[in-house]
């Protein structure tokens, strides 16, 4: 069911309810007005008749015709009944209601009611007794009420029509704006982040359009960053492969060739077997160091065998050996031993990336690392006392982007705080799996 259809139905339903309520009130008001008007006319005529009769009954016929010129008696039929039974009309409805103006029977029955006939004895000039009869005739008053009701209902219908048209015209502009917004969302769904919604005259729609355009800009920026990060990851992956290939060629290849030559030489009767054996042992020791280094670069085996805490202790020891001017303090809870393997490797790589950034950019001599469970979350805090930077003005590098991607893959959040010459504080919260 469309919004336009729902609005039109509600308008028509409201107009129908108003029409029913207004009609009921109009009929009730018309009935009261007719009754009050007729009652007042009857009371006035009766009072005038009683007053004049009390003053002079013998001259009643002199003033009775004067009742005809009174406007208050226009709803009355005033008649004189002769002793012979003949009836003389003294006051009657001043105009005859045409059939076109005549109210419908149901309106007359609802608004009007039966009125009792009032009779008074009157003495004629010749001494004969006549009967004055006063009977209510509210048809013209009911006709006026019916005409007023028609005007009211016509005004109500006109108002409903104007409201219907005005609302539809107003919503027509709204529907156009909504369709444009929906089209913009479809472009976003299709990956067209360069599409921008126009400005709207209505403030609310313009606010929505501004928010959608801002979202499109953020999505476009995120897409560009993800593309750059993907290209960088592929480049790093390729560099690592080239490095491993070079290591395999230079170290393993040459060492294996040397071992093969020595093995062939050892088969000669005059060869120095002891010296050749010692050389092969030295070459094998060198190869083991190279292989362990390559394996550590690919994936630290100690992480799988001994857990995250032992791996971090080993890594920090190597960092301090390679950077003697850097002091690294680590607080690590025993509870992190129970972390899933996927979380452990990501946390290890994040700490590794942070320490790399400290050595390359911070020029710090102290780093504090805190790793603990806090309120069903893993808290990782890394703070250095380096030169710091303003992250609002400095665009994050691939290292920080990759770190955020790692944390985001675990459902966590990264918060970076830094001031000039006050170091950098990295706070990471990862929900417990």
Domain stop point among 134, 151, 169:
169
| Longest Cα separation, the chain | 185
DSSP-derived secondary structure letter, 117: P
Locus of tokens 């001994």: 306
- Note whether residue 219 is domain-resident: no
| Count helices and strands in the chain by DSSP H and E runs | 11, 9
DSSP-derived secondary structure letter, 94: S
Q: Let me know whether 10 and 159 are in one domain.
A: yes
**Residue ranges, the chain, pLDDT below 50:** 58, 95, 97
* Interior/surface letters 168-197, b for 16+ CB within 10 angstroms, e for the rest: eeeeeebeebeeebeebeebbeeeebeeeb
3-state secondary structure of 124: coil
3-state secondary structure of 423: coil
- Note whether residue 270 is domain-resident: no
CATH number at residue 334: 3.30.565.10
- Note whether residue 283 is domain-resident: no
pLDDT of the residue at 429: 92
CA distance 392 to 400: 14
Q: What is the pTM of this model?
A: 0.49
pLDDT of the residue at 55: 56
As given in the structure block, the two tokens for residue 17 are 């309810």
Name the residue range of residue 327's domain: 305-433
Cβ-proximal residues to 119 (8 Å cutoff; 6+ apart), any chain: 131, 132, 133, 134
Q: Let me know whether 12 and 159 are in one domain.
A: yes
Task: State the pairing for strand pair 366-374/327-332.
Answer: parallel
- Note whether residue 232 is domain-resident: no
Locus of tokens 């705080």: 417
pLDDT of the residue at 69: 55
Task: Look at the alpha carbons of 193, 198, 204, 210 in this order and tell me if their dihedral is positive or negative.
Answer: positive
CA distance 122 to 50: 11
Please give the tally of structural domains in the chain. Answer: 2
CA distance 429 to 377: 6
- Note whether residue 245 is domain-resident: no
pLDDT of the residue at 133: 73
Cβ-proximal residues to 59 (8 Å cutoff; 6+ apart), any chain: none
Cβ-proximal residues to 8 (8 Å cutoff; 6+ apart), any chain: 164, 168
Locus of tokens 């909504």: 178
- Note whether residue 432 is domain-resident: yes
Q: Mind listing the pLDDT tens digit for each residue in 364-402? A: 889 999 998 887 889 999 999 888 776 666 666 767 778
- Note whether residue 268 is domain-resident: no
Q: Mind listing the pLDDT tens digit for each residue in 74-133? A: 566 666 677 776 776 665 555 454 555 677 877 777 777 666 667 767 666 666 677 777
Domain stop point among 122, 140, 169:
169
The residue count of the chain comes to 433
**Under 8 Å between Cβ of 132 and 67:** no
Domain stop point among 169, 201, 218:
169
CA distance 205 to 395: 33
As given in the structure block, the two tokens for residue 257 are 């060739």
pLDDT of the residue at 66: 58
- Note whether residue 387 is domain-resident: yes
């Amino acid at each position: 069911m469309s919004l336009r259809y729902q609005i039109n139905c509600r308008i028509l339903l409201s107009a129908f309810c108003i029409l029913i309520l207004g009609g009921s009130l109009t009929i009730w008001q018309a009935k009261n007005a007719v009754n009050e008007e007729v009652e007042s006319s009857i009371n006035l005529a009766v009072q005038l008749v009683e007053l004049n009769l009390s003053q002079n009954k013998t001259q009643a016929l002199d003033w009775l015709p004067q009742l005809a010129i009174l406007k208050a008696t226009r709803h009355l039929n005033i008649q004189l009944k002769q002793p012979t039974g003949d009836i003389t009309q003294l006051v009657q409805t001043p105009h005859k209601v045409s059939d076109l103006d005549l109210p419908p029977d149901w309106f007359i029955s609802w608004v009007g009611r039966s009125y009792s006939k009032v009779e008074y004895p009157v003495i004629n000039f010749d001494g004969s007794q006549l009967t004055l009869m006063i009977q209510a005739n509210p048809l013209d008053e009911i006709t006026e009420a019916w005409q007023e009701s028609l005007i009211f209902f016509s005004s109500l219908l006109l108002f409903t029509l104007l409201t219907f048209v005005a609302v539809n015209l107003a919503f027509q502009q709204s529907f156009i704006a909504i369709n444009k917004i929906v089209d913009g969302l479809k472009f976003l769904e299709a990956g067209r982040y360069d599409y921008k919604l126009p400005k709207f005259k209505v403030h609310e729609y313009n606010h929505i359009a501004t928010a959608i355009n801002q979202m499109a800009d953020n999505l476009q920026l995120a897409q560009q960053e993800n593309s750059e990060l993907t290209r960088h990851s592929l480049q790093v992956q390729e560099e690592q492969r080239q490095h491993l290939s070079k290591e395999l060629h230079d170290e393993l290849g040459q060492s294996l060739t040397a071992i093969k030559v020595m093995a062939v030489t050892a088969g000669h009767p005059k060869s120095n077997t002891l010296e050749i054996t010692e050389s092969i042992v030295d070459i094998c020791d060198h190869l083991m160091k190279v292989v362990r280094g390559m394996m550590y670069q690919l994936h630290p085996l100690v992480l799988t065998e001994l857990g995250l805490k032992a791996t971090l202790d080993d890594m920090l020891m190597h960092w301090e050996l390679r950077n003697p001017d850097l002091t690294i303090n680590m607080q690590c809870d025993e509870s992190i031993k129970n972390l899933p393997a996927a979380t452990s490797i990501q946390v290890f790589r994040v700490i590794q990336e942070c320490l790399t950034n400290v050595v390359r950019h911070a020029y710090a001599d102290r780093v504090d690392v805190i790793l603990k469970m806090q309120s069903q979350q893993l808290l990782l805090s890394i703070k250095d006392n380096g030169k710091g930077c303003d992250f609002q003005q400095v665009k994050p590098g691939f290292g920080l982007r990759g770190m955020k991607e790692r944390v985001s893959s675990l459902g966590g959040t990264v918060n970076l705080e830094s001031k000039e010459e006050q170091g950098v504080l990295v706070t990471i919260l990862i929900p417990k799996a």
